[in-house]
Amino acid sequence: MKKQTLNQDWIATASTLSNALPFLQRYENATVVIKLGGHAMGSDEAMASFARDVVLLSQVGVNPVVVHGGGPMINEMLGKLGVTSDFVNGKRVTDAETIKVVEMVLAGVVNKRIVQAINRQGGMAVGLSGKDAKLITCDQTDPALGYVGTPVALNTKVLTTLFDQNMIPVIAPLGAGREGETFNINGDTAAGAVAAALNADRLLLLTDVSGVKDGAGTVITELTPDEIRSLIQDGVIAGGMIPKTETALDAIEQGVRAVVILDGRAPNAVLLELFTEHGAGTLIRPVRAPGA
């Protein structure tokens, strides 16, 4: 007869699952949009861990949507092809030659890598770009930037249809212009627009920093829109964090219940944020929780 001795790891695992129950119930049938930044994709092992988290969300009744970036991969491919870029106010000018490379990398290599990783973990992911099924219609952001677009209309029917079939949309941040042009969209902007159109419960911005930090470099666990505006005005929020927090403000203004900026390189970052009491990163919502 076999005898089994319970060890502390098993007990901790069972306790973690039990403690997660209220959060599992909280997010049942909720829509969670996850922006996976290019810098947060990391190694194959990190991608597999992220994919397991997404599949678990789907298995417990959440409707996850992944919107990805790919800036480092675009830069690498442009370098290999010898395509040079001009910049206006720090932003890349996307000309006719560059947009071809952008589409090839985002809708091809990067998108399919994420789809394959999720499917390998037992999920049913479907790769899309904003050009598919008129998902994202864009206007040109600035003529000086070329083929860079700002979302102006979204058709979410394709996404809700995939939800009904328990499939996971993985969206490359490209859109179509009113005349059929291809536009590159900032990944955070695309994710915010998708989250707003779906009236998402959460928008998770996975990046390569642990959250919004105060002047001493400590991560701020919770912020309101007014507090973010004050930190931007005071120069505490600066650089690349400004567009991320502005995306959060726009998403909340358009009906997203809350936005979280967190380090996508941390193991199980998505699960820590959604299914534990302490969460991860910086939670941004209209009203601070009582006692916070």
Sheet of 136-140, strands arranged across: 149-154, 136-140, 174-177, 182-184
In the residue annotation, 149 being an active-site residue is answered as no
- Let me know: does 262 contact 269? Beta carbons within 8 Å: yes
In the residue annotation, 244 being an active-site residue is answered as yes
In the residue annotation, 70 being an active-site residue is answered as no
- Let me know: does 154 contact 197? Beta carbons within 8 Å: yes
Q: What angle do CA 48, 285, 260 make, to 5 degrees?
A: 15
- 132, 244, 250, 281: which is the annotated catalytic residue? 244
Residue tagged 């789907």 (tokens): 58
- Let me know: does 69 contact 105? Beta carbons within 8 Å: no
- 35, 149, 211, 250: which is the annotated catalytic residue? 35
Q: Where are the alpha helices (DSSP H) in the chain?
A: 8-26, 44-59, 71-81, 96-103, 111-120, 157-164, 187-197, 225-233, 241-253, 269-275
In the residue annotation, 71 being an active-site residue is answered as yes
In the residue annotation, 263 being an active-site residue is answered as no
- 53, 132, 188, 250: which is the annotated catalytic residue? 188
- 42, 71, 108, 279: which is the annotated catalytic residue? 71
**Which active-site residues does the annotation give?**
35, 38, 71, 188, 244
